[in-house]
Chains A and B, each alone.
Chain A
Amino acid sequence: EDKVVQSPLSLVVHEGDTVTLNCSYEVTNFRSLLWYKQEKKAPTFLFMLTSSGIEKKSGRLSSILDKKELFSILNITATQTGDSAVYLCAVINSVIQGAQKLVFGQGTRLTINP
């Protein structure tokens, strides 16, 4: 059974700190890994990673994938209170005849204190 595990489940830091969120996966026929940010509503897309070792960056957020060790990390530098959210990691298995499942991890609840 496909599995995505995130750690830690909860993290509380001070504004300005740097955080690293972890995601490991076991899926058949891996295709890509995605990160989402979920505040009080719908998950918002952050990154999609398909190739190992290539860092994706957007402002203070960055992410990298290791397909050999089956994990990804999401880094947030100089955290702000607006970064407080649940961060979700999800994996897409291979697309066969248009069929695709997105398997989500449990999420990491990040709280940034001023």
Chain B
Amino acid sequence: DSGVTQTPKHLITATGQRVTLRCSPRSGDLSVYWYQQSLDQGLQFLIQYYNGEERAKGNILERFSAQQFPDLHSELNLSSLELGDSALYFCASSPRPGDEQYFGPGTRLTVT
């Protein structure tokens, strides 16, 4: 158990819908990262927050957005969902940027 929690564990929804994934980092970690893992793409970095501010963006679609709240938990919002958005979404945290990252258990999103 890494200390990073994610909810929900599984999510099944229809195309065109919007969902919110939630992440609580390890106690004391200020930096939160979101990743998408699909079978054909491997682990892809989406976005990073540090102490409430967005710091880095990866291959994140415009239909996706995220935020980090004052209590340091983070949410990833996925809208206008498409079948291709079906994947495992991981959240990771680290004390500071540049430190090793610890991953949460992931949310498996299935879009039907």
B56: which of A34, A42, A99, A107 is its contact (CB, 8 Å)? A99
Which residues of the partner chain A approach B31 to less than 8 Å between Cβ atoms?
A: 98, 100
For B97, list chain A residues within 8 Å (CB).
95, 98-100
Question: Is A101 part of the contact surface with B, judged by Cβ < 8 Å?
Answer: yes
B111 to chain A, nearest CB (A): 21
Provide the B27-59 mask, 1 if CB < 8 A to any CB of A, else 0. Answer: 000010101000000111100101101011010
Encode contact with B along A28-64: 1 for CB under 8 Å, 0 otherwise. Answer: 0001101010000111110010000000000000000
The reply on A87 being an interface residue by CB < 8 A is no
Stretch from B13-21, B64-72, B73-81, B101-109 at the A interface: B101-109
Q: Give the docked Cα–Cα distance between A73 and B35 (Å).
A: 24
Query: Which of the residues A42, A90, A92, A106 comes within 8 Å of B90, measured between beta carbons?
Result: A42
Chain A residues close to B by CB (< 8 Å): 31-32, 34, 36, 41-45, 48, 88, 90, 92, 95, 97-107
The 8 closest A-B CB pairs, nearest first, are A99-B56, A42-B103, A100-B97, A104-B43, A95-B98, A99-B55, A98-B50, A95-B97
